[in-house]
């Protein structure tokens, strides 16, 4: 028996999950950029090179998260069922879960509460994106 085509409502439900996941990732990326100066100052007296490295790394993570969020939203908008979109969903899932593991073993052990949220936000966002992929 051939598979039934997805109804418009099923596709829209999947897209909503993908958009929610992309919004969380995007928002957390933006939230990374605002406190960068305070985070760097929080390290106290460190060398100029170390200050630049921390600034660079903090900014890169924020930009990477923004990129993943925008990319997922963009491909969802274009065609949530295309092979390219499905590949983007699954690669985003992988990247976010790798970031989640890194955060779990580094930032999660820190006393700063925002670091403790990263693994949950990354994993939650990745799951929303994949659920959207499976529903749409």
Distance CA 90, CA 83 (A): 11
pTM as predicted: 0.87
Alpha carbons within 13 angstroms on the beta-carbon side of residue 33 total 11
What lies within 8 Å, CB to CB, of 70 at 6+ separation is: 22, 26
Residue 53 pLDDT level (bands cut at 50, 70, 90): very high
87-123 per-position pLDDT tens digit: 999 999 999 999 999 999 987 777 777 778 889 999 9
């Amino acid at each position: 028996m051939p598979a039934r085509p997805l109804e418009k409502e099923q596709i829209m439900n999947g897209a909503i999950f993908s958009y929610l996941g992309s919004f969380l990732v995007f928002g957390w990326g933006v939230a990374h950029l605002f406190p960068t100066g305070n985070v760097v100052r929080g390290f106290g007296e460190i060398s100029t090179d170390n200050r630049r490295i921390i600034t660079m790394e903090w900014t890169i993570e924020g930009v990477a998260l923004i990129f993943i969020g925008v990319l997922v939203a963009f491909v969802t908008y274009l065609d949530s069922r295309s092979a390219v979109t499905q590949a983007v969903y699954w690669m985003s899932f992988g990247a976010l879960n790798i970031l989640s593991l890194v955060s779990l073993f580094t930032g999660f052990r820190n006393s700063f509460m925002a670091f403790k949220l990263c693994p949950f936000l990354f994993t939650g966002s990745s799951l929303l994106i994949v659920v959207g992929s499976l529903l749409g």
